[in-house]
A and B are shown apart, each in its own frame.
Chain A
Amino acid sequence: MHRTEQEQAELLKEISGVDTKKCMKCGKCSASCPAYEEMDIRPHQFVSYVQNGDVKALLKSKSIWKCLSCFACVERCPRDVKPAKLIEAVRLMVIRERGGNYLTPDEVPELLDEELPQQLLASAFRKYSK
């Protein structure tokens, strides 16, 4: 099924439950983000890109793979906008378009690097197994 960019934007809002109009453009999400420097499109921009129906750029963005799903932006947003959920929704849209899952429990190697934070594994499931 082919969707227009505007329809995709609406779908993103629906999947994430984010009301982009609530954003007051303070930038606290980006200011809180630990992966900010790795991102080409920044968390606060995700909100305004979706608001403006500019979804194509988001789907191509490498930011969706850089987001750690740490939810610092969700926690600290004064307007309760939840940018991480929006980023996750974009990621989901990309994954769904590709089809198939990318990470199953079987794929997790038995010996994991002990230095590896548990949160990374949890967020890997979030990212790749929807």
Chain B
Amino acid sequence: MQRIGVFVCHCGTNIAATVDVARVVEAAAKEPGVVHAEDYQYMCSEAGQLKIREAIKEKNLTGIVVCSCSPRMHENTFRQAAERAGINPYMVEIANIREHCSWIHKDIEEATEKAVILARAAIAKVTLNAPLQSGTSRVVKRALVIGGGIAGIQTALDIADAGYEVDIVEKTPSIGGRMSQLDKTFPTLDCSACILTPKMVEAAAHDKITIYTYSEVEKVSGFVGDFQVDIRKKARSVDMSKCTGCGVCQEKCPSKKTPNEFNRGLNTRSAIYTPFAQAIPNVPVIDRENCIKFKTGKCGVCSKVCQAGAIDYEQKDEIVTQNYGAIVVATGFDTIKLDKFDEYSYSTSPDVITSLELERIMNAAGPTKGHLERMSDHKPPKSMVFIQCVGSRCADKRGKSYCSKICCMYTAKHAMLIRDKYPDVEVTVFYIDVRTPGKNFDEFYRRAVEEYGVNYIKGQVGKVAEKGGKLLVQGVDLIDNKRILMETDMVVLATAIEPNPDVRKIATMLTASIDTNNFLTESHAKLRPVESPTAGIFLSGVCQGPKDIPETVAQAGAAAVKVVGLLAKDHLVTNPCTAKSDELLCNGCSSCEKVCPYGAISYEEKEVNDHGIRETRRVAVVNSALCQGCGACTVACPSGAMDLQGFSNRQILAEVDAICR
């Protein structure tokens, strides 16, 4: 029989205000096996843990129940406390009476009653706990970063500088990401390329960093410390070792009508192309869907003009398989599609553009060589209107429920830059709220208003209509309670951002949680913001939530530190809650093997002693190093031979019984 100690935490008033802690102690003390029960203000504090350790020693406790916050919060704390007092850490169970009880119930009677039942279930479970021993697993000293934008580049650089090998996988032909498309950056107005390209070059030159561009992660297996990843290197049709990056092929390519993705479709590019001049690697790819040679078999101009003989039409996709100890997701974002916002005439008027398109127009390497002009007639605008929150903060299905966070600042930036370079252009911004939390952010916005004379109007725009080559903007000034009807030359929409559409596929491969907006979920909103709940998976940049460049770089560094902390370990302690088969009950039917996602179950011919009869049987054996403890096999097993340690059939049934008592 176990000797169980029950420790009930007040959590200040978090628990004690709605749960009568004394009654929980009293009720727990009456449960079979309980030899000690007490309460304390903060069980997780050093003094609280000391109480647990002392009680273990004084009363020879063999099992511990802590009634406190979620086990996701402090299970480890209390396991360590138990271990320090000399008992197996897996002899500890937590009754979650905070998140699952005191915080959601108001009635003290009801909440106390429920807390007692939850305590009872935990006591019933711990009665059946058995000591478990963790094994160890290896750590591959190499990290994978998915996404080669500023988030991925920064994470990779920080990991590599700590001395570990890093691979970056980037889907497009070059690293650089969204930041490479930007012209200037707030709040200091640095040129984006000037601060990004040195980092791109540094990453490419780093002896610890390998960059796979035009590549995608195809398959992921394994677990923390030892992931196996297949990377598909798409056929570039250009030999990277031979190409000199001279650019003649792009000039001579006769197929020049493909929308230029890098310039957001504002102009066209050739079928053989590098996305931008500072691309890394500076090796073009052939877009086979638009290449005349691939479509008709006739052309081959690029091959003829290439003096290095680098063009290779026969090149095939290549799969690289590599093992990694940790994976960082840095897949970034895109702007939402505006097809559901017809009122702004985005799809019908070329002079209604998104902010990202304006970035390209303002950029010296962009479709207009940096001249501010209308896309319809290439004339410079005399007035411009910016509309905020297009698709952000939407309760309906057309947009996103969240604030995209960056738009208020980049709109202030655009307005300021335009007024600076073209003082004759009237700039009006329609806003709902101006949100500028951040160092020197509000000051920046105020400069746009006070120094540069940008006209901010509180009120959303209802309609934008094309009329005689002009755009008619119908809005309202909520402060003056007046209708605004104005003619303008260009309208810029602060379009909501959303996670890169590929992220769902990647999250599924990594078994990393994702929320309803396709943002990856962090392990703890405040205390573990760069870790996924899936061990060994880390988050960097906008894939976790909207953020600007300074925040992205900070988070990228944080993710890198977490990766380095993991890779620095010689080995990892494995989860001992693995499946275990009872040889005497197993009939060797292979049901468990079929459902195991990790291939952890194999069969051995074993001599067993079944009630005096010795015979050789085919029985299931679980490789505890591979088993992750999901328990699928335990339910598939028809003979009840397979059970999961730490969550055994008897333990869960005991909990069910205790709850339904």
Interface residues of A (CB under 8 A from B): 22, 24-33, 36-37, 42, 44-45, 72, 76-80
Contact = CB atoms under 8 A, between A and B. Distances in A.
B530 interface: no
A78 B475 contact: no
B403 to A, nearest CB: 11
Contacts of B396: 77-80
A24 to B, nearest CB: 7
A80 B483 CA distance: 22
Nearest to A37: B483
A21 B394 CA distance: 14
B461 interface: yes
Contacts of B458: 27
Interface in B386-400: 389, 393-396, 398-399
Interface residues on B, range: 20 to 34
Interface of B: 343, 389, 393-396, 398-399, 432, 458-463, 474-476, 478, 481, 483-484
A24 B459 contact: no
A80 B615 CA distance: 72
Contacts of A32: 343, 462-463, 474
B394 A78 contact: yes
A30 B481 CA distance: 9
A26 B460 contact: yes
A27 B433 CA distance: 11
B161 to A, nearest CB: 44
Nearest to B392: A78
Contact of A26 (B389, B398, B474, B483): B389
18 contacts: A26-B389, A26-B459, A26-B460, A27-B478, A28-B459, A30-B476, A30-B478, A30-B483, A31-B475, A32-B343, A32-B474, A36-B483, A37-B483, A42-B476, A77-B396, A78-B396, A79-B393, A80-B395
Contact of B460 (A27, A36, A72): A27
A32 B393 CA distance: 18
Given A26-B389, A30-B459, A45-B481, 19 more contacts: A22-B395, A26-B432, A26-B460, A27-B432, A28-B459, A28-B462, A31-B463, A31-B474, A31-B484, A32-B343, A32-B474, A42-B476, A42-B481, A44-B478, A72-B462, A76-B462, A77-B396, A78-B395, A79-B395
Of the listed residues B395, B460, B483, the one surrounded by the most CB atoms of chain A closer than 10 A to its CB is B460
A31 B460 contact: yes
A87 to B, nearest CB: 16
A81 to B, nearest CB: 8
A76 B389 contact: no
A60 to B, nearest CB: 18
Of the listed residues B393, B395, B462, B484, the one surrounded by the most CB atoms of chain A closer than 10 A to its CB is B462
Contact of B459 (A27, A33, A37, A77): A27
Contacts of A30: 459, 462, 476, 478, 483
A31 B389 contact: no
Given A31-B474, A31-B476, A42-B481, A24 B462 contact: no
B213 to A, nearest CB: 38
Nearest to B430: A31
Of the listed residues A25, A28, A36, the one surrounded by the most CB atoms of chain B closer than 10 A to its CB is A28
A29 B459 CA distance: 10
A108 B389 CA distance: 45
A12 B395 CA distance: 22
A32 B474 CA distance: 7
A79 B432 CA distance: 13
Nearest to A39: B483
A27 B483 contact: no
Contacts of B432: 24-27
B481 A31 contact: no
A63 B614 CA distance: 94
A25 B478 contact: yes
A42 B393 CA distance: 22
A22 B474 CA distance: 24
A108 B398 CA distance: 39
Nearest to B394: A78
Given A24-B393, A27-B476, A27-B478, A78 B399 contact: yes
A99 B396 CA distance: 37
Nearest to B388: A26
A80 B393 CA distance: 11
B577 to A, nearest CB: 45
A121 B462 CA distance: 25
Contact of B476 (A22, A36, A76): A36
Contact of A33 (B395, B462, B484): B462
Nearest to B481: A42
A31 B481 CA distance: 11
A73 to B, nearest CB: 8
Contacts of A80: 395-396
A79 B396 CA distance: 6
B367 to A, nearest CB: 31
Nearest to A79: B395
Contact of A31 (B394, B398, B461): B461
B485 to A, nearest CB: 9
A28 B483 contact: no
A72 B458 CA distance: 20
Nearest to A27: B459
Leading 10 A-B pairs by shortest Cβ distance: A31-B462, A32-B462, A28-B460, A27-B459, A26-B460, A26-B432, A31-B476, A30-B476, A78-B394, A79-B395
Contacts of B474: 31-32
B151 to A, nearest CB: 29
Contacts of A29: 462
